[in-house]
């Protein structure tokens, strides 16, 4: 019975992953084998869609594939690196101060999707009422059409920053379990802060990092609401991933 206790504790998380990630991924794969359209009705066509995609007959498909690569690489880099640095910083603070900063940084994750998307739309609004354009006007510079000029960058930032709080929370717990003797020994040996992160802490927390990378990859591939609300996938498929 004692051997089952750890599995009982992680069962809710496994069910959540199954319900919100695995099942949608399997359903999406099945839909990709059909010619389903907006009517949600379609016939089984096998690998025809994949053949069309990899043959790059449609120039839009090639652009969408490149968008997906840039989107995943950029969002994952922001989420994992940002979460690791914040986790290391808050773990170093420790106590109530570290818990306070973790709570503050977790607020974006608790923000409703519509509100989070609206904040980005307001910040990069191409009119004089956009946050960045208001700042530029105060210093005598003309405003810019941010969303039309840098749609993919905005999408990457919006999704990448949103993933930082969850990454920070998991890695803070992982870093907190590193024996203090190892950290003290590395300091005595003259290791710098970056050396401790790269050569000591990252190898120790490698499994949580791997889990988070897989988790966020699935999350970014199945998240569409922020792209839909902020850029609509445009202009001209410039921010449309798979």
Tell me, what's the pLDDT at 74? 94
Tell me, what's the pLDDT at 38? 66
CA–CA distance, 165 with 209 (Å, rounded to integer): 14
Tell me, what's the pLDDT at 80? 93
The residue written with tokens 């009422």 in the block is 129
Domain extent, residue 42, equals: 1-55
Mean pLDDT, the chain, integer: 84
CATH number of the domain bearing residue 177: 1.10.3720.10
5 and 102 assigned to the same domain:
no
pTM of the prediction? 0.76
Tell me, what's the pLDDT at 1? 67
174 lies in a domain?
yes
Token pair for 95: 């106590």
241 lies in a domain?
no
27 and 119 assigned to the same domain:
no
Q: What is the DSSP letter of 213?
A: H
CA–CA distance, 21 with 227 (Å, rounded to integer): 18
> How many domains, in total, are found in the chain?
2
204 and 136 assigned to the same domain:
yes
214 lies in a domain?
yes
Phi and psi for 44 in degrees, rounded to 5?
Answer: -70, 125
Q: Which residues of the chain have pLDDT under 70?
A: 1, 38, 56-57, 94
240 lies in a domain?
no
> Strand, helix or coil at 208?
helix
* pLDDT tens column, 55-105: 766 777 778 888 889 999 999 999 999 999 988 888 777 677 777 777 778
20 and 110 assigned to the same domain:
no
| Closest CA relative to residue 214, chosen from 36, 80, 103 | 80
Percentages of the chain per state (helix, strand, coil), in multiples of 5: 75, 0, 25
Chain-centre distance for alpha carbon 131: 23
């Amino acid at each position: 019975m004692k051997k089952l206790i750890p599995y009982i504790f992680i069962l809710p998380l496994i069910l959540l992953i199954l319900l919100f990630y695995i099942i949608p991924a399997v359903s999406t794969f099945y839909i990709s084998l059909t010619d389903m359209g907006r009517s949600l009705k379609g016939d089984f066509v096998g690998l025809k869609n994949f053949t069309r995609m990899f043959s790059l007959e449609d120039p839009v498909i090639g652009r969408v594939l490149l968008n997906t690569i840039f989107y995943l690489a950029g969002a994952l880099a922001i989420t994992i690196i940002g979460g690791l640095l914040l986790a290391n910083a808050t773990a170093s603070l420790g106590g109530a101060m570290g818990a306070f900063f973790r709570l503050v940084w977790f607020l974006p994750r608790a923000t409703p999707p519509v509100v989070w998307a609206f904040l980005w739309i307001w910040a990069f609004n191409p009119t004089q009422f956009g946050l960045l354009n208001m700042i530029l006007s105060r210093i005598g510079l003309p405003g810019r059409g941010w969303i039309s000029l840098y749609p993919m960058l905005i999408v990457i930032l919006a999704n990448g920053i949103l993933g930082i709080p969850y990454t920070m929370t998991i890695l803070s717990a992982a870093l907190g379990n590193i024996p203090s003797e190892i950290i003290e020994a590395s300091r005595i040996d003259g290791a710098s802060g970056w050396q401790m992160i790269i050569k000591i802490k990252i190898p120790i927390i490698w499994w949580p990092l791997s889990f988070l990378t897989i988790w966020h990859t699935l999350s970014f591939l199945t998240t569409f609401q922020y792209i839909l609300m902020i850029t609509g996938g445009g202009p001209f498929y410039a921010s449309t991933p798979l």
